[in-house]
């Protein structure tokens, strides 16, 4: 691990100012905020992340969950994943979010992990985490060892010839289905970014994963009010029952009117280079009878552009079954 400067931030403004000053003074030197540290410190030990400055945001007062006047929720960036998943308002109004978080990592990790850190967790592609291998995401232009290597767990949707890494977060999939907004503050002021625009496809620049600019701090995430009468669930399929990343997962939020679907929100995890919302599948479901043929058509729409690699062709069928099963769960 290389030497770095460590700066505990007193407040949000001090954190943003320190990050901005450092980037300018050291000609773009890498600055990282540390929240729970469960991704960042691992990657520093592996020499994958080599920040010159770490700004500790763990004591910032961004740890509240608050009800909005319209019934939506505001989730502070420093809210721990355990607190978020177990909060009574989240459990009652946004169960898909609670289920997604509890399906991830372990109790100890969720006690440390935060909303902001989870949004920005890096891929689990083994070549990204091992500096002995070429990886365009870690070292732009070096190549991609996964293309002809161990790619069983990697993405089938949104890939490019430069990177096929999966976004590994469960929470992000639920936030995509819930149409969350990410609130950011940086040297250019405050911005709000819909989650659908937050994570980028790899294209030819897989090292650029989000629309954040250097030194941008996520302050909170907001959720629109729950839709009365809707039901939701998160289904995660993986190699073992706990402490494992998704091979395929589905977050679905559906409202029925009689036996027809009046509203649907669908996002998938474990298969995309970013949390994979499918508005096409949602549109196909609206007005359809809530039965398996309609769910299969929705799955067709999600997976039509799937491009499997040498070892992960099984994910196409797995993702199909995952989505169909989740839709059955919420419409029974
Ligand atoms: C063994 C293991 C198993 C896991 N299994 C799962 C799983 O099954 N499912 C799953 O979804 N996740 C899993 N995770 C990942 C875990 O959820 C993430 O490590 C965690 O959510 C990251 O949060 P953190 O607060 O610790 O982030 P940190 O490590 O503190 O930060 C991560 C990144 O986010 C940046 N950052 C953090 N907060 C902010 C902010 N407010 N503004 C701007 N930048 C910020 C940091 O600079 C850093 O780049 C696993 C992790 C481990 C180690
Ligand atoms: S898939 Fe992406 S993260 Fe994995 S080796 Fe290739 S470029 Fe790196």
Convert the pLDDT of each residue in 50-106 to its tens digit: 999 999 999 999 999 999 999 999 999 999 999 999 999 999 999 999 999 999 999
- Give the ligand 2 atom nearest the CA of 134: 5
Positive or negative: CA dihedral 263, 269, 275, 279:
negative
Backbone angles phi and psi of 253, in degrees to 5 = -130, 115
Of the bound ligands, which one is closest to the alpha carbon of residue 206? 2
Of the bound ligands, which one is closest to the alpha carbon of residue 212? 1
| CA 293 to centroid of ligand 2, rounded, Å | 36
pLDDT tens digits for range 111-155: 999 999 999 999 999 999 999 999 999 999 999 999 999 999 999
Of the bound ligands, which one is closest to the alpha carbon of residue 63? 1
**Position 24 pLDDT exceeds 80:** no
Helix or strand run (H / E) with residue 66: strand 65-67
| CA 244 to centroid of ligand 2, rounded, Å | 19
**Position 246 pLDDT exceeds 80:** yes
pLDDT of residue 26: 52
**Position 297 pLDDT exceeds 60:** yes
| CA 32 to centroid of ligand 2, rounded, Å | 21
Positive or negative: CA dihedral 290, 293, 297, 299:
positive
What domains can be seen in the chain, in order of their start residue? 5-56 (3.30.43), 230-331 (3.30.390.50)
| CA 117 to centroid of ligand 1, rounded, Å | 4
pTM (two decimals): 0.97
Distance from C-alpha of 284 to C-alpha of 288, rounded to nearest angstrom: 7
Cα atoms in the 13 Å half-sphere on the side-chain side of 69: 0
Distance of CA 190 to the CA centre of its chain: 21
- Give the ligand 2 atom nearest the CA of 143: 7
- Give the ligand 2 atom nearest the CA of 125: 4
Q: Which residues line ligand 2 (CB under 6 A)?
A: 123, 125, 127-128, 135-137, 144-146, 154, 163-165, 206
């Amino acid at each position: 691990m290389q030497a770095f400067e460590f700066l505990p931030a007193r407040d949000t403004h001090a954190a943003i100012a320190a990050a901005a000053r450092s980037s300018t003074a050291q000609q773009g030197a890498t600055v990282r905020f540390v929240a729970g540290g469960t991704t960042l410190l691992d990657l520093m030990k592996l020499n994958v992340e080599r920040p010159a400055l770490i700004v500790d945001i763990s004591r910032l007062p961004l740890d509240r969950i608050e009800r909005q006047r319209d019934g939506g929720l505001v989730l502070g960036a420093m809210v721990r994943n355990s607190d978020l998943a177990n909060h009574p308002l989240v459990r009652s109004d946004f169960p898909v979010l609670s289920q997604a978080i509890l399906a991830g990592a372990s109790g100890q990790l969720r006690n440390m992990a935060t909303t902001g850190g989870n949004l920005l967790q890096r891929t689990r592609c083994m070549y990204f985490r091992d500096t002995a291998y070429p990886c365009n995401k870690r070292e732009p232009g070096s190549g991609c060892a996964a293309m002809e290597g161990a790619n069983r767990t990697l993405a089938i949707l949104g890939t490019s010839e430069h990177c096929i890494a999966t976004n590994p977060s469960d929470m992000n999939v639920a936030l995509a289905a819930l149409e969350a907004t990410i609130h950011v503050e940086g040297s250019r002021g405050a911005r709000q970014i819909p989650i659908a625009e937050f994570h980028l496809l790899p294209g030819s620049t897989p090292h650029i994963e989000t629309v954040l600019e250097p030194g941008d701090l996520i302050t909170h995430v907001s959720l629109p009010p729950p839709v009365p009468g809707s039901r939701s669930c998160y289904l995660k399929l993986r190699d073992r029952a706990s402490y494992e990343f998704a091979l395929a997962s589905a977050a679905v939020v559906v409202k029925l009117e009689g036996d027809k679907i009046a509203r649907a929100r669908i996002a998938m995890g474990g298969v995309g280079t970013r949390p994979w919302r499918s508005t096409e599948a949602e549109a196909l479901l609206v007005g359809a009878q809530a039965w398996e043929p309609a769910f299969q058509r929705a799955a067709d729409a999600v997976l039509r552009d799937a491009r499997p690699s040498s070892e992960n062709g099984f994910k196409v069928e797995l993702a199909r079954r995952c989505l169909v099963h989740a839709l059955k769960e919420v419409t029974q």
